[in-house]
Amino acid sequence: MTRHDASTHPSTGPSGREQITLRSPAELADALPFLLGFHPDDSIVLVALHGPQGRFGGRLRMGIPQAPEDWPEVSTQLAESLITGGERRGARPDGMVLFLCQDPSPGASARDVMERLRPLAQRLRIACGDLDVPVFEALCVSDGRFWSYCCPDRRCCPADGTPLGVPGTSVMAATAAYAGITVRGSLRQMEARLAPLAPSRAPEQESALDDAAAGLVPRMLDGADCATVREETLALLGGMLDRFRGVAPLADPVAADARDDGLLTAADAATAIIGLQDRVTRDRAAEWMEGPDAEPALRLWRALSRRCLGSYGEHAAAPLTLAGWVAWSSGDEPSARVALGRALRADPGYLFARLLHQACNDGLDPERLRRCLRRERVGHALHAAVHEEVARGGPGVDGGAGEGSAGGGGAAPSPGAAGARRRSRRTRPGPSGPGAPRGSRDGRRPAPRPRSGPRPGRREWR
C-alpha cells in the first residue's frame, strides 16, 4: 500500500474548521463522493494536493474517452488545466491523487475494467510528472471495489481488488454528515434529470417547437417587434414560475421531475424555449436566482431543458445554463457543474455557460454576479414605472427620456434565432451575460448601440 497522508477540510462547523486525515487508498476511495458531491460514473477525477500534509485543493472531472487513441491528448490537457488553474490562483499543486471510475459492461468484470484503464492511468501520471507534479496515488474504482495502480504489494492490494467500505460508516462519512455535506447520488442520476424526455414525447414537442420558431423568430429578428417578444416571453416564464412555486417539491427526484413535466404544455414550453434564445431575455430570466424564486426557477429550467428534443437539442444550452447558474447561486456547486457541463455539450460555443463553468470550477464567489443582476432588476422596475407614468400622463415625466435609460424595453434587438424551423438555433446570438465580450465570435451579430444611455443587455463581469 502506498502511504501518503492527505487532509481535507469538508466544512466549517460550529467548532471551527473541521479537518480529517486520510492515510490509505481505502480512505481515499471512500472520500471521493464527498469531495465531488456525487458518485462519479465513467469519470477521470484529478484532485490537487497542497503543502507537506497534502491538503486537498482543486479538483477536475471528465468523462473517460472511449477511444484509447484519445487518451494521450486528454491526459495532457487535464494535467495542464488543473495545474495552470492552481497557478493562476497562486496555489500550484504539490501533488495529485487520481481516480478512474467505471463500472464493467455486460460480460466483463471489474478487474477487466482496471486492466483496460491501466494505460490511461499511466498516461495521466506521465502528464502530471512532465509538469513536475507527482501523482502520489492512482486508484481504479469499479463495481464496489478499488485497485491501486501505484502499489505492487499484493499483500495489501490484492489482484482482485479491495471491497469499498459500507456507505456511511467511515470517518469521512461521519464528518461530512456532521458538517451537513450530502452526496446527491450518482452522476448518471444527476444527468438524467436534465436529459430529454422519452422518445414517445418527441413528435408532439418537436412539432410545437417548429410552430413556435415559425411564429417567433421573424418577430425576434424584426427590430420593431423584438422588445415585445421579450416582454411576452418573460410574462410567460413568470406565469410558469408562479405555477411551479404553487406546487411543493417532492423528495423523490424521479417523481418530482415527472410531476414538473406535467405542469407545462408542449406549446408553452416551446414558446419559452424559443424566446430564451434571445440573450437579453435569458439575462433577464437569470434574475430569478435567490430567495423564494431559486427553487421553483431551478425546477423550471430543468423542465424546459428536458423539452429540447430531436433537432432542437442545441436549444437546451440556454435553460441548462440558467439551471447551472441558479444551482451555483444557491450553493449547490456539484449540480451547477453538471448542468453547465451539459450546456456546453449542447453548444460548446455558448459563452455564458463557459464563463460560469470556469468561475464555478475556480471557486469564485457568485455574490458579485448576484449584485450585478440585482442592480439590473432595480433598473427594470424603474423603467416599468417610468412607462406607467408616461401612459397615465403623470406630471414631470418626460415621455422621450424613458427609452433605454434603464437598460430594458428600449433595447435595440439582438437576434434570438434565424430560420423558421428546426435549424433556427444555428444563428442564435452569443450570450451578453456577465463577461460576454461585445462582438464575440459566438455572438454572431452584436446589438447596435443606442444613441444615449447604457448599452441594452450589456453585463460586465469584473
Of 378, 330, 323, nearest to 352 by C-alpha is 323
Rg (CA), the chain: 25
pLDDT at 431 (0 to 100): 40
**Contact present, 306 and 197 (Cβ < 8 Å):** yes
Query: How many whole angstroms separate alpha carbon 183 and alpha carbon 66?
Result: 27
pLDDT of residue 170: 64
Mean pLDDT of the chain: 79
Most confident of 1-10, 83-92, 104-113: 104-113
Output the pTM of the full model: 0.69
Angle, helix 25-36 to helix 171-179, in steps of 10 degrees: 20
Written as nine digits, the cell of 245 is 412555486
**Distance in angstroms (rounded) separating the CA atoms of residues 158 and 156:** 6
What is the pLDDT confidence band of residue 276, given thresholds at 50, 70 and 90?
Answer: very high
Query: Which band of pLDDT confidence, cut at 50, 70 and 90, is reported for residue 249?
Result: confident
In this predicted structure, the answer to whether residue 446 has a pLDDT above a threshold of 60 is no
Give the list of residues 6+ apart from residue 386 with CB closer than 8 angstroms, or none: 397, 401, 402, 405, 406
pLDDT given for residue 334 in this prediction: 87
pLDDT digits (tens, 9 = 90+) for 317-357: 999 999 999 999 998 888 999 999 999 999 999 999 999 98
User: What pLDDT is attached to residue 408?
Assistant: 34
How many Cα atoms occupy the beta-carbon half-sphere of 374 within 13 Å? 9
Q: Is the pLDDT of residue 452 over 80?
A: no
User: Does residue 442 register a pLDDT over 50?
Assistant: no
**Contacts with 76 (C-beta within 8 Å, 6 or more apart), sequence order:** 127
Q: What is the pLDDT of residue 19?
A: 64
pLDDT digit string, tens, across residues 133-178: 999 999 999 999 999 999 888 877 888 899 987 665 566 666 666 5
Residue 252: Cβ within 10 Å count: 9
- Range among 58-62, 104-108, 383-387, 418-422 with highest mean pLDDT value: 104-108
**Residue 217 parent element (H or E):** helix 202-220
pLDDT tens by residue, 65-98? 999 999 999 999 999 999 988 888 888 999 999 9
The amino acid sitting at 385 is A
Give me the residue label for grid cell 464527498: 34
